[in-house]
Amino acid sequence: MREIVFDTETTGLDPQSGDRLVEIGCIEMLNRVPTGAVFHAYFNPERSMPAEAEAVHGLSSAFLADKPRFAERADELLAFLGEAPLVAHNAGFDFGFLNAELAMCELPPVDRGRMVDTVAIARRKHPGAKLSLDALCSRYGIDRSHRVRHGALLDAELLAQLYVELMGGRQIGLELAAEVEIKAAVVAVPVRTSSSRTPRPARPHAPNAEEQARHAAFVEAIKDAIWLQ
């Protein structure tokens, strides 16, 4: 099954208040294994970058000034997403910004029925635990030492690893390996048809006269046999 794990960076928390999407990173997965195909883009938000948002992701207005506007790459992004389920951490936030940008381009929104929220999955598996990406990476032993600041593609890469762990982790790999081994074993065993075997002659099992006489003598010599009582 094809899935897309993605993350976004924005100018703030609310697209309805004028905040914009400034970065998106998407990782393609097939049967929960990254294929190596990615979509990554920065966007000019056509507004200033608040200092508190820049402190989170490090994307300044100067850096984004020469980047394309979302509308310029919207078709390319949608083609990459296709019809696959979309996996995100606190997915409602990312879907809200993605669909707000699509609306400004007069494009239809992405169906929220495709949304897979790893926060909701983690909450069911670990009720009461911390559910941030950092906390969950620590819980599952995912290396995030290179994550100095938030970045859409980097966070999507970490999330792809986390998603696999939340959905069964290394057991998935073990199951696939076992399946491959079984298939290999089946292929390796030669198929033998009935025509390739030489029938074995029947072995005689009936006692001969001498054996019958000896058996009768043995039974006769048994004292107080229970079958005579």
Q: Which residues are catalytic?
A: 150
Cβ-contact 130, 1 below 8 angstroms? no
